Chains A and B, each alone.
Chain A
């Protein structure tokens, strides 16, 4: 295909006219994230030149009532004050199809609406189906799309965007992949991990592969350990219904945190194309040996938060939260130690931990280098020379800091660690767009770089599944940690030798 000479120099490349269908259009994710993201894209002129939205959900309502739902969600959750003309023009392109997801007539009516949009446009528009529903509906929606012939469209692309979680066990993920790939081809499938849409996660690639400074030390000869932390200071709120069936391991470790591990550990891709990048991530995942049942107690810790203090206020423990079943065994804290067994990383422990109601909200990757081989300085009178640490903070204050040893002013050679910092917000003019804005556009464009591939998802489950199985078959009660603390004491036993968890 010849290149369009008009696209050179444009920041936003053309996206083929598209009709996006959101299954679960009245759900929380649609209201809080997807609809506001679509508005922001419209505001900035980033949507395809022809764009239509069809929402589908169980609630029965006419198009105009759904447009009001969408309008209210956009006004409440968008990051800017809506331009009334843009909002009105966007809502004019919205239709609604109601019904249960196993009702074949929903897909008939959906197909009719899609065809009407095509006819109005005088061309075949691309079709993207966004599955923003509870995961139990993914198979029935995909199968019905296939049965209705909506998986294919002459002269246009059809894409299927699937929210996480992609399965809750390895077997489920495999089964879901089989169902999805029985209807769609892999190139049509976009599995969401919204962390991949975050600017700071993408910046890790720039950090590692646009700077020659780090690559020579980015290996087992210089790096002692890697800690990846995703901690939250809030509890589960009103999400017991979802969370108690998921738990910390499924909610964050299996997807987001393993993706962060891949970004740290991967080899430089030969090109920044979807498959080249994902090939390298899959290689990392394949280098991690799946734990055996006996390994789990040695390499993984789980716990639940108990009552404590957060933000100066007394807060309930997990088992007292609304909607949590009595005696629940769901972990709100998970920590695991993994090894990437390849030439670059053999012997370097990767520590991952995540939890609710910890001391503060932070997502960071801490790369600790090995100590200097010989220290000529005496260390009395100071905290001493600490190994260098490179900290990539993804939230809340995105940036990179490097801890170095520096001399304390004075007559003696005393060293203390100091930080050299880069804060993303100080060095760039604009705030990052919301992750979903980027992901929706990439899916419409057909760029799968920021989405997980079928083998990638299964490789992630291969690592986590034995832990899930062991934990589910082991009765509680779970170890407890006080809300607002650093986490459970047993997590200290995960670290090897002199390694220590960083303070949250």
Chain B
């Protein structure tokens, strides 16, 4: 698979170790690796610190191994075991080729796995600080919660990667993202899942004659994976923040969350429905109507998004907007890539989403 890290050298491990010993091992191994072959060059893009429950560390490792071509340069995984009192660690160097040929460069990446206990979490920065590559952005991902560890590391990291759909309570999840965004740049995978939908909605209303229709949107219906309510709320929040809607909290009916947002010209009817038939996390469909009688629906379909459009005179058209599904590994890889970029529209969308939830 493109970008697979195929060559792995499990090169160092120690039980009951210290951060200083791990750091010394990293330095020594880097020097040895380079001396062994000058064609291997250490990647220097970003550090990724991952805090996981030890029982689920294999699953997370699998996800990281399948991110495609977006690899962190140094990954530090803290596998948390209840009751553990000492640190055990392993360091592995991986490369993107089996063998580097003269004239070619082969990138090498460093993976550090630290087995730690809950007692270490409140001061995890003292463990991690010596291990991150200086002057590189550090991204923190804690898919199993461990908020105490996240809080302990906030002074050390520049980016927090999270997935608002991971938390069972959507309001809490969005609230946590909002709080974290005061201290770090937040990359929310729930937000990234809506990127292709946002691009397509923006494109539909981009031609100059259609831009005034944005002010006439009168109804928005979003169907989503049962666990992806946060993604749907963020999409509504995006439209609300870009178009100046004032949303009110949504309320639950038998089969949906419904409510209104107020815009200058008219109210917008909002409806968020669960799509139990959808196996992929994220959105299933987005439907927009305008007061002028235009209707746009985007559905997931083979080969991309299936677009259905009806304009005010009643003529309907259908076509496919091409694009491959990124899948969960692709979304995670995209999240890592986004750590180097800055999107100014997430925070305002998040704020509006919180008003809805």
- The number of chain A residues touching the other chain, given as a range, is 35 or more
| A45 and B105 within 8 A (CB) | no
Is B35 located at the chain interface by the 8 A CB criterion?
Answer: no
Is B20 located at the chain interface by the 8 A CB criterion?
Answer: no
For A427, list chain B residues within 8 Å (CB).
Answer: 44-45
| A9 and B203 within 8 A (CB) | no
| A7 and B206 within 8 A (CB) | yes
| B105 and A6 within 8 A (CB) | no
For B345, list chain A residues within 8 Å (CB).
Answer: 8-9
Least CB distance, B325 to chain A, in whole angstroms = 8
Number of A-B contacts (CB under 8 A): 137
Measured CA separation A80–B326 after assembly (Å): 13
Query: With contacts A90-B303, A430-B69 known, is A2 near B211, CB below 8 A?
Result: yes
Measured CA separation A429–B337 after assembly (Å): 7
One digit per residue, 1 when the CB lies within 8 angstroms of any chain B CB and 0 when it does not, for chain A 76-120 equals 000111010111111010000000000000000000000000001
| A425 and B105 within 8 A (CB) | yes
For B208, list chain A residues within 8 Å (CB).
Answer: 1-2
Measured CA separation A6–B70 after assembly (Å): 27
Query: With contacts A7-B202, A9-B343, A79-B2 known, is A45 near B107, CB below 8 A?
Result: no
Least CB distance, A426 to chain B, in whole angstroms = 5
Is A343 located at the chain interface by the 8 A CB criterion?
Answer: no
| B45 and A5 within 8 A (CB) | no
For A42, list chain B residues within 8 Å (CB).
Answer: 304, 322-323
Measured CA separation A14–B307 after assembly (Å): 16
Is B204 located at the chain interface by the 8 A CB criterion?
Answer: yes
| B69 and A431 within 8 A (CB) | yes
Q: In the complex, which residue of chain A has the Cβ closest to the Cβ of B322?
A: A42
Least CB distance, A470 to chain B, in whole angstroms = 36
Q: In the complex, which residue of chain B has the Cβ closest to the Cβ of A82?
A: B324
Interface SS, A side: loop
| B322 and A86 within 8 A (CB) | yes
For B304, list chain A residues within 8 Å (CB).
Answer: 42, 45, 85-86, 89
Least CB distance, B210 to chain A, in whole angstroms = 9
| A6 and B201 within 8 A (CB) | yes
| B243 and A12 within 8 A (CB) | no
Query: With contacts A10-B199, A89-B303 known, is A16 near B71, CB below 8 A?
Result: no
| A6 and B214 within 8 A (CB) | yes
A62-86: which have CB < 8 Å to B?
79-81, 83, 85-86
Number of residues on chain B facing chain A (CB within 8 A):
56
Stretch in A28-36, A47-55, A267-275, A318-326 touching the partner: A47-55
For B168, list chain A residues within 8 Å (CB).
Answer: none
Least CB distance, B214 to chain A, in whole angstroms = 7
Is A396 located at the chain interface by the 8 A CB criterion?
Answer: yes
For A79, list chain B residues within 8 Å (CB).
Answer: 2
Stretch in B79-87, B121-129, B178-186, B312-320 touching the partner: B312-320
Query: With contacts A86-B324, A429-B340, A430-B337 known, is A49 near B2, CB below 8 A?
Result: no
| A8 and B323 within 8 A (CB) | no
Q: In the complex, which residue of chain B has the Cβ closest to the Cβ of A15?
A: B203
Query: With contacts A89-B302, A121-B319, A122-B317 known, is A423 near B41, CB below 8 A?
Result: yes
Measured CA separation A81–B320 after assembly (Å): 21
| A48 and B302 within 8 A (CB) | no
A4-26: which have CB < 8 Å to B?
4-12, 14-16
| A50 and B199 within 8 A (CB) | no
Q: In the complex, which residue of chain B has the Cβ closest to the Cβ of A46?
A: B323
Select the residue from A11, A48, A426 with max chain B CB neighbours within 10 A. A426
- Which residue of B42, B198, B320 contacts A6 across the interface (Cβ within 8 Å)? B198
Is B43 located at the chain interface by the 8 A CB criterion?
Answer: yes
Least CB distance, B137 to chain A, in whole angstroms = 11
Is A360 located at the chain interface by the 8 A CB criterion?
Answer: yes
For B70, list chain A residues within 8 Å (CB).
Answer: 429-430
| A428 and B45 within 8 A (CB) | yes
Is A238 located at the chain interface by the 8 A CB criterion?
Answer: no
Is A44 located at the chain interface by the 8 A CB criterion?
Answer: yes
| A426 and B107 within 8 A (CB) | yes
Query: With contacts A6-B242, A47-B322, A89-B303 known, is A14 near B203, CB below 8 A?
Result: yes
Select the residue from B43, B206, B343 with max chain A CB neighbours within 10 A. B206
For A286, list chain B residues within 8 Å (CB).
Answer: none
Is B350 located at the chain interface by the 8 A CB criterion?
Answer: no
For B104, list chain A residues within 8 Å (CB).
Answer: 396-397
Least CB distance, B164 to chain A, in whole angstroms = 18
| B69 and A396 within 8 A (CB) | no
Measured CA separation A14–B211 after assembly (Å): 13
| A429 and B336 within 8 A (CB) | yes
Is A208 located at the chain interface by the 8 A CB criterion?
Answer: no
Identify the 9 closest CB pairs spanning chains A and B, nearest first: A45-B323, A89-B303, A9-B345, A14-B203, A6-B202, A85-B303, A14-B206, A42-B322, A83-B324
Known pairs A42-B323, A49-B204. 13 more at Cβ < 8 A? A1-B208, A7-B202, A14-B206, A43-B322, A45-B199, A45-B304, A49-B307, A50-B321, A83-B303, A89-B303, A120-B319, A397-B104, A429-B337
